[in-house]
């Protein structure tokens, strides 16, 4: 069974740092694009960061660029999100997401974690 488990969330004050982890199992993690998304209370889910499997290129949402850093350890099937200079507006549930695009929909797979709460107070 494929499973993605996020951890590392918590309650911090503005300016603090947190590192989120996403432990993947039941899949060949290294062959998947891996991303972080977040859902702020009362708002739609938004893209945070992505690291491609093929070339390790990274992408970031405008609101976190320069403050957050995505990385992955394929040997440990783990995705990370280093969050620095946290702001109250970063308060959200953060979700791990992986996807592999095959040559047909039959061989395209994607999975979501359950999320981890990050709360940043002023």
User: How far is Cα 82 from Cα 18, in angstroms, rounded to an integer?
Assistant: 6
- Nearest C-alpha neighbor of 95 from the set 4, 3, 2: 4
- Nearest C-alpha neighbor of 36 from the set 85, 70, 1, 75: 70
pLDDT tens per residue across span 55-73: 889 999 999 999 999 999 9
User: How far is Cα 60 from Cα 70, in angstroms, rounded to an integer?
Assistant: 9
H or E element, residue 114: none
pLDDT at 106 over 90: no
User: How far is Cα 13 from Cα 121, in angstroms, rounded to an integer?
Assistant: 5
pLDDT at 107 over 90: no
**Token code pair at residue 30:** 């290294």
């Amino acid at each position: 069974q494929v499973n993605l488990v996020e951890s590392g969330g918590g309650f911090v004050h503005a300016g603090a740092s947190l590192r989120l982890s996403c432990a993947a199992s039941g899949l060949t993690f290294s062959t998947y694009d891996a991303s972080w998304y977040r859902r702020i209370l009362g708002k739609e889910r938004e893209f945070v960061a992505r690291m491609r499997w093929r070339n390790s290129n990274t992408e970031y949402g405008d609101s976190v660029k320069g403050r957050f850093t995505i990385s992955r350890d394929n040997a440990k099937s783990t995705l990370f999100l280093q969050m620095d200079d946290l702001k109250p507006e970063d308060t959200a549930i953060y979700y791990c997401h992986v996807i592999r695009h095959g040559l047909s929909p039959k061989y395209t797979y994607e999975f979501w974690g359950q999320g981890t709460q990050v709360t940043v107070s002023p």
